[in-house]
Amino acid sequence: AGMGRTVVELFYDVISPYSWLAFEALCRYRHIWNIDLRFRPAFLGGIMQQTGNKPPAMLPKRGEYLLKDMKRMAKYYQVPLRMSADAFQHIMRTNSLTAMRFITAIDMTNPQYLEPLSREFWMRFWSQHEDISQPENILAVARQAGLSAELSQKALEMITSATVKDRLKETTAEALKYGAFGMPAVVAHYDGEPHLFFGSDRLELLGNFIGE
């Protein structure tokens, strides 16, 4: 980190649409604010399970609101996120574990691709409503993000390894340690303490808190 830069960690999972909004907004702000932004791919399923949290759409009224909220947020943040009418079934049917392990493998071997790769996963799932759980789709996402076939293949082989599985578990456990109960979990390290901000709509509070 540069002199006096505030380290800001973003714990995210590509299955989470609010994580995409926070990701894009923080990517814009890191050029304006004095922050050292760190992407921390974690597993939302693990966080939900450990904290006893339930997907917001389990409550029908909340689900109804969420569809409208997403539409407004996508427009406000200018992110091509499109909620389909069956978005929740889409989420419920998809397990992001393989995708997040793949992203973790790339983070461990070629971190320069972490940002474009994560973005392409969101694009495919939330903009094109395509599957992100099957190996061939994961490879298509990687190709789209500019990774060579060789690199993608290597990362795909790594997802079954203990090193990658453990790294994803550790990152998820770290998010939990900071008090995360969902995604995105943004942790600002300020004045020697970690401070958790939940959701994509707390960025003005985050900025104010770190003196931006």
Pairing outcome for strands 185-190 and 35-41: unpaired
Q: How far apart are CA 121 and CA 20, in angstroms?
A: 10
CB atoms under 10 Å from CB of 135, counted, come to 13
Torsion 138-122-13-33 (CA) sign: positive
Catalytic residue chosen out of the listed positions 16, 19, 152, 200: 16
Known active-site residue 16: yes
Burial call 159-190: b when 16+ CB within 10 Å, e when fewer: beeeebeebbeebbebbbeeebebbbbbbbbe
Q: At what angle do helices 162-177 and 97-109 cross, to 10 degrees?
A: 100
195 beta partners: 188
Provide the CA 82 distance to its chain's centre, in angstroms.
17
Instruction: Just list the catalytic residues.
Output: 16
